[in-house]
Amino acid sequence: MLEGKVMVITGGTRGIGIETVRVFKENKAEVILLGSKKETVEKAILKLKEEGMEVKGYYPDLNHIEELNEVVEEIVKEYGKIDILINNAGISANQKIEDTSSEEFAKIMNLNVNAIFNMTKVVVPYMKRQHNGVILNASSMVSIYGQPSGVGYPASKFAVNGITKSLARELAPFNIRVNAVAPGITKTDMVDSLPKEIIDPLIKTIPIGRIGEPRDIANAYLFLASDLATYITGNILSVDGAARS
């Protein structure tokens, strides 16, 4: 479905990110994964190589435009283009507001919101030049109705939805589609770190009767990135087993 396409994904070293790398490689895309640390990037690349998948990786600071510019320039120099950008990097939160410092709140917003702005800002000029591109952002089910604690996380995902819908309108004249995927409860390290009192009530809201798998989310990214979705932009695609409030 993606033969000849070049995809860049942030947060591509584990969980939904690395599973998305697998799905896109299976569909013949060239994939460049970005991670937060050299060690985690190298570990992911080695793991994928053992599975028979060759990918390239970088570890820029997503809040430093200069670093992102250098990485994107290098990618375009090697591959000639960037067709798909997936802004997947993010962190969660679960503390009550009185236990959350301003610094912790800012850290969430920096990675979940500012990094999306930065990465998109750097990639968009190349997509405009191509008059073609797909940008996919990681939202969440909590962007629809919030969560009982950890206010920074749903706040950041509401912002992601706003970025997605606004950029879809701004970039549509350049044939650049912008969508987001809003996963429900999914088997990842991030969800494993949440306390039982938050997870258990949420699981009961899933009519389909199970927690999502990383591949469920990766397949949604695949659909939105493919030519099957050429008339879809500005959408927040819920992938949550109908677990909507």
Catalytic, out of 58, 59, 153, 221: 153
153 is catalytic: yes
On the 0-12 / 13-18 / 19+ scale of CB atoms within 10 A, 223 is: middle
Query: How far is it, in rounded angstroms, from Cα 73 to Cα 68?
Result: 8
Catalytic residue list? 153
